[in-house]
Structures are given as structure tokens and as C-alpha cells.
């Protein structure tokens, strides 16, 4: 994309002074409209050092209502960030509906600086580009407007600007050895940037190259681009084209067989058998917790299952002997208003464990294709899309080295009824049962179909489902512990 | 407090097995009650290395509903944390109403490890103890239940436990050189801990020393302490004693004079005078932004003022030429439900700029003693208490080196009326004026009294108020810029 860019483009200063006041008023009005329509906007500034990112961002935000935007300066990942997949720090920073986030450098650092500096290999470049495209597609599908600007200057201009900064005592500190090293590698960066722009110029989020040698020209182009993109999105919403344009029909293959029907729910483990094994398993879990920590392996354990299948008790046995500093349990309730205002994966990204730690989810992002599907909280194209989104998110985690363990706690409808009745009839258990549980129970068959489809579509090599036969709680607990042990042991050996 | 502790205390194992099941059920039920009553609980575990904090926390959380608590392991502050006052990382982690936070080590690291390792001097120890007591008092006053446990073992026991850990290959890594170094300094730590316990054993948050040589004895004592504290608090609420006990009448001295009456609102700066000065000031602001960054000075600028006094435009002129990577504007609207569930200072602590950065607040924590007072959102004892709380919070910031600039934008009621009417009559300004603005205007005199009292009580040496005569916007903008420049220049010189 950089080949045919004419860097000599300039804008007449008088002309600039004439048009800008109108553009700033227009942009301010569009920001208010975007807020009103609940459009979340992300604007990415990438480009050469000294291309003027700071100045251009400053010009862009001037007319904006400060209550509605946030600038995110991005430098090399810090320790907290290096302990998570590279998109983590951006997933957690996506704006809420109606808000605007400006990224001064972004997730593209991964495939530019880290690539040229050989911090990541060829395979990682490829998978990172795939992850980036998937990230932006998910955002766009959810209604996010992603605007990407690449500020382009020549090697000569960069040199002149560095020298100018160096000759001024108050800006001298802004140019360091790394900058000059990067400058010498301009050619390498140029090739990496070209490739990156081509590989990530997608329908969900296309690139705009901004000729940034002339400040006025660049400011005007940034304004035109952002104003144009906002107007287009707002027009789409007005014309109700949005849905049609951004939610194409998703065709999925037919689900074959029922994983749940194949489960043998008669398996039983007696109390004595349980008690001899549980302590041993828990001891091993604690040892593995230490090994995970020493080897910096992140682990995610996801619990899904029928109401009253025993998720809480199962999690308790898994964590009973663990060091509380090494794990955290995340109970996933109905989303809060803040969570609803973001992409549905956002709240899970906010809880991703860092390398060496264990995150245990009591209910998970599979809520999208289970409760949200059955209760109609998400329309069909939305939950259908989620299978791919979840698989991609799990792949991103797995390629970072995350161990993913997914449990479905399976019981029969008869067993559920017995447990519901027992809860209702036991004083200190009554708080555990609600009207909603009874209502969900009536939709057993619908849920079963959704669970079967979920297991079929999201049992991947890197994140397989394990069904726990949970009519017998003892059996389900030991199987969960043993699955954890076996899976983590393998991961520890591989390191 | 450590002198008279008898470390030989033990608990019979059979007795332990007999009483614990009842205690766990009781604790689980109390957690549910605390949630129901919206009591936020903080449990601090401090004590010697190898005193068994991990194990005791594990035993304590076992019966708890994982949806209601979070364990915060505390190690040495990381880079992000070192760039803020030491309480920042704890203020941001206080639990919401009805939730429980467990701190595995805590803010006391400041006056233990950092003190013994001579990372802070004597004066800082003293001011840190004052800050800690103020922090805990504010929490207690707001309804937080703060339980502090110090796990005590002898030097000999510590040695034995270290050796045991070292002799087991899977736990060997847990003992390092620092641990042995600390062990050798047991005596020094003992004296520091004794002093700390005495100095922070307050009515708001008292210490309980737990004899931790015998595990069963320690577990039982932790349970008894937590159960006892929860029961007491719940009983207080039942008996409506809470209010009386925890909100004593606050007697404040009489406010003398009116700062607002002394303001000369006739000062005027013409457009030509403004335009020659504004660019120069903004250039200087940008230079200072760089110096602040280079010297790692944090700056907070707070804006308060009458509706339509011109806060937005004033902030815009202050930031117009700044590098957007160095500052952030925080617009403070009505608190969200999540914010309401925390101490009112919590949301501001979440936005504290890190060293080298500028945080600009469009409305501030002074909302507590202005809008919340006038509109009756906070009862009298609550807003009266806030003067001291805010002064203490600002002192904590100032002693970390934060530059605090506080602006009150003052206009006359006539000028406000003129501006309201202009907004109403100009199409593209109508969004700026609401019914609420008109309602607030009717309460002018009440607000004036509150503002005068606020300025009187919170103009401190370390965080003085500057009143901007804002009938003339040009004058107010230049005065804000010049005040910023002057204050920051002084801070830069001092470094």
C-alpha cells in the first residue's frame, strides 16, 4: 500500500485556515451523534517515528467532548502485559458504546517493532496477523467502527525531524538511540509495514495511509477520514442497512450426533473410594500449581453445566488445597450495564489469568451460545457468529501457551428434579433455588440441543470439552481433579 | 502488642474436628447476611514469613461463596504502583458493598519491609502511619468492616519451617535469600512490627494477634475473630446503633468571611491581549509537560465552578497544545451504580495520574461537599466528615510529590443568566443547557455558602484554591494557564 503514495502532497495554509473551523464543528456534532446512536469508535494511529502522531491526535481531539474519548498511548508491553496474550491489553481497552478510543500506536506493534527486532518468529507473525484480523472482525461485527491511519514520511524527512528535535534542548530527550537504530533500519521497517498493511487491510477495518510530510495536509486528511467514516456509519444506521450489511447469514454445517446422549450417567463412585482419592489428587494439584507458577504457564478452567449439577462443590474440591495466591474463581453472573456496553468478550478478557496463574470460571463466555441463545438475548446471527469468535479467542489464548480445560457437568433431568426438591425442603439450602431455576428446567430440551451444538462446534484440539458424569458428585469431582492433573502435567512436560 | 503473646497455645485435634464444621456453616451464613446488608469487609493478613498466611487464608475462604470475595496477594510494588502514592493500589482494590476482600499482606508492607530495608526514612514512616490510620478511619466511617490479623511465630519456628520447605523439592523455590536475610533480621522486624501494631491499633480498625505456631489453634482463632466481627457489625445494624456509634457529631469551627464576596468580577482582558498571551502560555505549558515527564512529577488540576462558568473551554485552552500522551481529562458525572457501591473516593483513586503525567478533573471529589450536600444525597455528618477526608487524601498525594492545582470558576448570577439564555437561543448550543441547570440556579445562595465553606476548610498550604474571575472568559483562561505555569515551575525547580 505504501508504493504508490505521493509524499509531496501539500495543503495551502490559507485554504487550511478557511476549511478547518467548519470541519471541527462537524466533527464535534458527529461525536455527539455517535454517542447518541451508541457507536463505539476506535481510531488507530500507526506510522513512522516523528511522523507527527502526537500533533495529529492533538488536533483531532481538540473539538471533541472530553467526556466521550480516551487516548491510549502504547509502548512496549510491560511485565503485566507480557504475561498475557498480546491482544489482552487492547481487549481490555476497547471503548463502551458511544465512546471513542484513540490508540497512539496499537496492536500493530506486534507485527512491526517486535517483528523487525526479531522478538517474534515467522510463525508468530503469521498467527498474530490472523489474530489481529479476527480481533477487528469481531469488533466490527459487534458494531464497533475501527478506523486505522498509517502516517507516512520518507527516510529523509524522518532524519530531518530527529535532528530538529535534538537541536532543541526541551525536546532533545525525545530522540534516543533506539530511534536512530530504527531510522537506519527504515528499509526493513518499510517492507514489514507494507506487508502488514496489505495483510490487514480488511473489509472490517481498512487502512488509510496519511501523507504526513505536510502538517496541514495530514490534519485535513485525518479529519476527512474520521468524518467520512462516522457519516457513513450513521447513514447506514439511518437507512437500516447496518444489519443487512454487517450481519450476513451464517451457514453452519449440520450437527451430527449428540454428545450428551452418549454419556453414561450410571457411573458411580462410593464415598470410601472418593475419600481415598480426593486427598491424593488435591495434593498433586497443589504441587502442579507450584510448577505452573515456576514455569509461568497460564491455566483456564471453565465450568458449565445444568443448574444443580454441582459446579460450586466441584470447584471447591478443585481449589480446596490450592494456594489462594495462585488462582482466582470468577463467578459469571448476568452482565452489568457497563459490561453490556462493551463487546461480550470484554469482561472475560478483563479476568484472563496471567502466566503462572489459574483462572477458574464458574460459567463462561459460552453463555453467549447457551443462555443468550435460548432466552433470546442474542439474535440468531449473533450467537451463530459466536462459535467462531470463541474458537478464535481460545486459539489466541492457547497459542500464548494457556492450558484450557472445559467442563460440562451433566446430570439427568430426573436427578435435577430430585436436587431441586431437596434444596426446597432443606432450610439452609433454600437460598440456592430460585424461580428462574424452575423456568430453565422447563426448557431442558432446547438447552440440550444448544449444549450438543456447542460441544460439537467448540471441541478443538487446543481446547477440548470434558463431560463430567455428575449424577454422582463424587465421580464428577474426582474426574475433574484427574482431568486437571493430566492436562496440566502434559503442559508442564512440554515446557 | 507482641510482648505478652504466648506462642505455646495449642488446640486439641479432636476438639478442632468437632467444632470446625459448625463454624464453617456459621461463617457461610454470615457472609450471606453481610451481602444482604451491603457490608463491605476487608480482612488483612500480616505476619512473619512462613507463619502460614496462605494456609490460613485457604481455610478461611473454603466455606465462602466465591462470587462474594477476592484474595489480593500483595508483593513489592511494581512499576505502575511505584508511580503513585503507596495507598493507591489499595484504594483501587477496596471491595464494593456486600463484598469481601482478603489481603495477603497489605499496606503495612510500607511500614515493615520498606522500613526495615531502609527504603523509606523516619519521616516517611511517621507520615505513612498517619496515612494508614486515616485510610482505615475513612473506610470504617463509610461502613467498611476492617479486620486485621497479625500471624505471630517465633524465630525458631520460622527457621524450622524454612528448612522444611527447603528439604522438599516441590517447595524449595519458596525460600530464597531474602527470606533468610529477613530471618536473620527477626529482631529488627520484631521491633518494627511491635511499633507498627501499637501505632495502628485504632478504634476504627484494631489488630488481633494470632498465635500461629499450632495450625489448628490459628485456624480456630481466625474463624472466631472474623465470625465475631461480622456478628457484632450485623447486630449493630439490627439495633440501629450503627449510625450513633460510627457517626459522632462533627463540630467544625465557624467559617469567617466569604472568599467569593471578595472576588473582583469586573476584571477584563480584551481579545487582542488574550491572543498575544495565550499562544505563549500554551507553548510554555507544553515545555513544562515535558519537564514534568522527565522529572516524574505527577500533576492534578481540579476544576470546579458554577454552571456555564466556562470550565470546558478553560480546560480546552489548557490542553490545546499539550502532548495527548502526557495528560488525561476525567469528566466527573453522577456516580454509576458500581461507584455508589464503593467509598466515594474510590473512583477518584482509580483515575490518579501516575508520576510524570497530568490528570485534569472536570468536577472533582468536592462534589461531596457541594452537590451532594445541597441536594441532600449525603446527610450532614457525611459531608461534614468529607472536609477532613479530602484534606487527608490531598496530603497523601502532596507528600508523594503531586502538584495540586484547584480552580473555582466564579461568575456572577447575572452573567450566568445571560449565558443560559444565549445557550437556549443558539441552535448548536442548546444541548449544553438542561432543566437541571435552571434548578441549580435557583439554589445559588445555598451553593455559595457551600463553596465559601469549602474554600475556607480545604485551602491548604499543599493544595490551595485559586479563584478564577470568569465573567471574562479570556481573563479566566489566561489566569488558569499562568497559575498552572507558575505552580509547576516551582515544583520543577524543587526537584
Model pLDDT for residues A447-458, shown as the tens digit of each residue = 999 999 999 999
Per-residue confidence (pLDDT) for residue B294, from 0 to 100: 92
| Chain A residue at shortest CA distance from B29 | A428
Is position A259 within any domain? no
| Helices A177-184 and A186-199, axial angle in degrees (round to 10) | 80
Q: Which residues of A touch B312 (CB under 8 A)?
A: 66
For residues B412 and B471, the answer to whether their CB atoms sit within 8 Å is: yes
List the beta bridge partners of residue B301.
B360, B405
CA–CA–CA angle A405, A406, A412 (5° rounding): 140
Report, as an integer, the average pLDDT of A195-211.
Answer: 96
Please give the Cα distance from B42 to B93 (Å, whole number). 10
Please check whether residue A290 touches B, CB under 8 A: yes
Interchain pair A62, B316: CB under 8 A: yes
Please tell me which of the candidates B32, B67, B328 has its beta carbon nearest to residue A331: B67
CA A131 to chain centre: 10
- With bands split at pLDDT 50, 70 and 90, how would you rate the model's confidence at B420? very high
Please give the Cα distance from A200 to A110 (Å, whole number). 13
Is position A262 within any domain? no
Please check whether residue A320 touches B, CB under 8 A: yes
Give me the sheet containing B41-47, strands edge to edge: B69-73, B100-104, B41-47, B145-152, B207-211
For residues B39 and B234, the answer to whether their CB atoms sit within 8 Å is: yes
For residues A351 and A329, the answer to whether their CB atoms sit within 8 Å is: no
Residue for grid cell 523487525: A116
Q: Which residues of B touch A325 (CB under 8 A)?
A: 54, 71, 73, 104
CB contacts under 8 A, B 469-488 vs A, are none
Same domain, A147 and A242: yes
Per-residue confidence (pLDDT) for residue A247, from 0 to 100: 58
Distance from CA of A293 to the nearest CA of B (A): 10
Please give the Cα distance from A479 to A441 (Å, whole number). 25
Is the confidence at residue B388, as pLDDT, over 80? Answer: yes
pLDDT tens digits, B39-82: 999 999 999 999 999 999 999 999 998 878 999 999 889 888 99
For residues B85 and B400, the answer to whether their CB atoms sit within 8 Å is: yes
Torsion over CA: A18, A21, A25, A26 (sign): positive
Per-residue confidence (pLDDT) for residue B241, from 0 to 100: 59
Interchain pair A170, B291: CB under 8 A: yes
Burial of residue A135, with CB atoms counted within 10 A of its CB: 0-12 exposed, 13-18 middle, 19 or more buried: buried
Please check whether residue A329 touches B, CB under 8 A: yes
| Helices B215-238 and B53-61, axial angle in degrees (round to 10) | 50
Residue B164 makes CB contacts below 8 A (sequence gap 6+) with none
Same domain, B291 and B236: no
Please check whether residue B76 touches A, CB under 8 A: no
Residue for grid cell 452537590: B371
Same domain, B234 and B140: yes
* Residue % of chain A over a pLDDT of 70: 98
Cβ density class B16-29: b for 16+ within 10 Å, e for less:
beeebeebbeebee
- List the grid coordinates of B494: 524543587
Please give the Cα distance from A190 to A2 (Å, whole number). 8
Q: Which residues of A touch B102 (CB under 8 A)?
A: 324
pLDDT tens digits, B195-251: 999 999 999 999 999 999 999 999 999 999 999 999 999 999 888 755 554 556 788
CB contacts under 8 A, B 213-272 vs A, are none
Distance from CA of A331 to the nearest CA of B (A): 5
Per-residue confidence (pLDDT) for residue B170, from 0 to 100: 75
Instruction: From A246, A280, A309, give the residue that closes a domain.
Output: A246
Same domain, B455 and B400: yes
Residue A313's domain comprises: 271-494
Is position B180 within any domain? yes
- List the grid coordinates of B144: 467498611
The stretches of B51-143 forming alpha helices (DSSP H) are 53-61, 79-82, 88-91, 113-116, 122-141
Is position B4 within any domain? no
Please give the Cα distance from B1 to B191 (Å, whole number). 11
Is position B254 within any domain? no
Residue B300 makes CB contacts below 8 A (sequence gap 6+) with B352, B353, B358, B359, B360, B361, B397, B402, B403, B404, B405
**CATH code of residue A44:** 3.40.50.300
The stretches of A326-369 forming alpha helices (DSSP H) are 337-340, 346-349
Interchain pair A290, B331: CB under 8 A: no
Interchain pair A25, B428: CB under 8 A: yes
pLDDT tens digits, A136-181: 999 999 999 999 999 999 999 999 999 999 998 878 888 999 999 9
Interchain pair B337, A337: CB under 8 A: yes
Please tell me which of the candidates B54, B66, B291 has its beta carbon nearest to residue A331: B66
Is position A254 within any domain? no
Is position B1 within any domain? no
Same domain, A224 and A77: yes
Same domain, B208 and B291: no
Please check whether residue B362 touches A, CB under 8 A: yes
Is position A265 within any domain? no
Report, as an integer, the average pLDDT of A106-118.
Answer: 93
| Chain A residue at shortest CA distance from B52 | A323
Per-residue confidence (pLDDT) for residue A427, from 0 to 100: 81
Same domain, A319 and A407: yes
Candidates A96, A295, A324, partner chain B, best to mutate (most B CBs within 10 A): A324
Same domain, A290 and A173: no
Interchain pair B67, A337: CB under 8 A: no
Per-residue confidence (pLDDT) for residue B79, from 0 to 100: 85
Is this complex's ipTM strictly greater than 0.90? no
Same domain, B211 and B296: no
Residue A55 makes CB contacts below 8 A (sequence gap 6+) with A215
Residue A284 makes CB contacts below 8 A (sequence gap 6+) with A485
Same domain, B356 and B431: yes
Closest Cα to residue A318, out of A203, A104, A487, A131? A487
Same domain, A97 and A160: yes
pTM here is: 0.82
Interchain pair A71, B328: CB under 8 A: yes
Please give the Cα distance from B248 to B385 (Å, whole number). 10
The number of distinct structural domains making up chain A is 2
For residues B197 and B150, the answer to whether their CB atoms sit within 8 Å is: yes
Is the confidence at residue A477, as pLDDT, over 70? Answer: yes
Same domain, A207 and A344: no
Distance from CA of A467 to the nearest CA of B (A): 23
Please give the Cα distance from A117 to A279 (Å, whole number). 49
Amino acid at each position: 500500500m505504501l508504493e504508490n503514495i505521493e509524499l509531496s502532497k501539500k495543503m495551502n495554509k490559507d485554504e487550511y485556515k478557511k476549511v478547518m473551523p467548519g470541519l471541527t464543528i462537524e466533527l464535534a456534532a458527529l461525536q455527539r451523534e455517535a454517542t447518541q446512536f451508541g457507536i463505539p469508535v476506535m481510531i488507530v494511529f500507526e506510522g513512522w517515528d516523528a511522523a507527527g502522531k502526537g500533533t495529529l491526535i492533538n488536533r483531532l481531539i481538540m473539538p471533541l467532548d472530553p467526556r466521550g474519548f480516551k487516548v491510549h498511548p502504547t509502548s512496549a508491553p510491560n511485565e503485566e502485559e507480557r504475561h498475557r496474550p498480546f491482544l489482552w491489553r487492547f481487549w481490555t481497552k476497547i471503548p463502551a458504546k458511544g465512546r471513542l478510543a484513540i490508540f497512539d500506536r496499537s496492536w500493530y506493534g506486534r507485527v512491526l517493532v517486535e517483528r523487525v527486532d526479531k522478538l517474534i518468529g515467522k510463525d508468530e507473525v503469521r498467527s498474530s496477523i490472523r489474530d489481529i484480523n479476527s480481533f477487528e472482525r469481531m469488533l466490527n461485527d459487534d458494531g464497533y467502527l475501527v478506523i486505522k491511519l498509517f502516517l507516512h514520511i520518507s527516510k529523509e524527512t524522518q532524519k530531518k525531524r530527529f535532528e530538529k528535535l535534538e537541536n532543541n534542548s526541551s525536546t532533545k530527550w525525545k530522540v534516543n538511540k533506539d530511534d536512530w537504530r530504527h531510522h537506519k533500519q527504515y528499509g526493513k521497517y518499510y517492507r514489514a509495514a507494507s506487508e502488514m498493511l496489505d495483510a490487514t487491510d480488511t473489509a472490517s477495518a481498512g487502512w488509510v495511509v496519511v501523507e504526513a510530510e505536510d502538517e496541514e495536509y495530514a490534519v485535513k486528511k485525518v479529519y476527512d477520514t474520521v468524518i467520512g467514516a462516522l457519516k457513513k456509519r450513521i447513514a447506514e444506521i439511518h437507512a437500516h442497512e447496518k444489519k443487512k450489511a454487517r450481519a450476513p447469514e451464517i451457514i453452519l454445517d449440520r450437527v451430527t450426533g449428540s454428545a450428551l446422549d452418549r454419556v453414561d450417567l450410571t457411573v458411580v463412585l462410593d464415598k470410601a473410594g472418593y475419600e481415598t482419592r480426593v486427598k491424593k489428587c488435591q495434593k498433586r494439584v497443589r504441587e502442579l500449581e507450584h510448577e505452573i507458577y515456576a514455569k509461568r504457564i497460564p491455566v483456564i478452567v471453565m465450568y458449565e453445566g445444568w443448574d444443580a449439577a454441582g459446579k460450586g462443590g466441584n470447584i471447591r474440591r478443585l481449589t480446596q488445597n490450592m494456594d489462594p495466591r495462585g488462582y482466582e474463581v470468577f463467578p459469571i453472573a448476568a452482565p452489568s450495564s457497563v459490561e453490556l456496553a462493551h463487546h461480550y468478550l470484554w469482561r472475560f478478557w478483563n479476568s484472563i489469568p496471567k502466566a503462572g496463574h489459574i483462572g477458574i470460571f464458574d460459567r463462561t463466555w459460552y453463555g453467549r451460545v447457551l443462555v443468550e441463545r435460548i432466552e433470546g438475548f442474542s439474535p440468531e446471527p449473533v450467537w451463530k457468529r459466536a462459535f467462531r469468535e470463541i474458537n478464535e479467542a481460545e486459539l489466541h489464548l492457547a497459542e500464548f501457551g494457556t492450558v484450557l480445560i472445559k467442563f460440562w457437568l451433566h446430570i439427568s433431568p430426573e436427578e435435577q428434579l430430585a436436587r431441586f426438591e431437596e434444596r426446597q425442603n432443606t432450610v439452609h439450602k433454600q437460598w440456592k433455588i430460585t424461580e428462574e431455576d424452575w423456568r430453565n428446567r422447563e426448557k431442558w430440551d432446547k438447552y440440550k440441543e444448544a449444549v450438543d451444538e456447542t460441544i460439537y462446534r467448540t471441541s478443538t484440539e487446543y481446547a477440548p470439552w470434558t463431560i463430567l458424569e455428575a449424577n454422582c458428585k463424587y465421580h464428577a469431582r474426582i474426574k475433574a481433579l484427574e482431568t486437571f492433573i493430566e492436562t496440566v502435567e502434559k503442559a508442564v512436560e512440554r515446557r
